[in-house]
Structure 1
Amino acid sequence: MANAFERLVEKMDRATLDRMGKPVLINDVGFVAVESHLIPEMGPLTGDGISLVIFSSDYKPRRNDQTVWDGQSYIVTRYQSFNGKPQVWLE
């Protein structure tokens, strides 16, 4: 049984998905993602880019994954874990 903190995290994830989640297609598989924004004051950036947090434990990110976001085709250029979820950068 999940503890109170884990239940709160699950509740917040559901609220985030309901309010901000959008469909993304990665390697022809549908997921729900939230666009993640960074501001320049938070560290060095190499230019504008799209970063998505994928709300699925089924997705295992790899470089060059074929991605369709907002009707545009991209590839995954890098990835990391963000609060236990895959975060990917698209170009």
Structure 2
Amino acid sequence: MKIGVTQIILGNMSIDDTIDLCRAAGYQAVELTFRDGKDIHVDLDDDHIRAVAKKFYEADIEITSITALKGSLLSSDSSERVEAAKSVE
């Protein structure tokens, strides 16, 4: 078993900052969250996704899962919550 962190709790932390956090905390694994407004988002092309994977590989941090969210389930805007809910159905 590897000790890691899920990016969903890290807010808008960038990929580079996430890697720095993992190194500092001794995390060996990460669960990535692709979402709007972040440096990794659901519309990334294959080359950019491979570049993200390479960064974690070179840092010796295993990507154990990936999730993608559109919008925010916690938004005060009900229409945004509805759209976000559709993305996880």
TM-score when normalising by structure 2: 0.26
Structure with the higher helix share, 1 or 2: 2
Structure with the higher strand share, 1 or 2: 1
TM-score when normalising by structure 1: 0.25
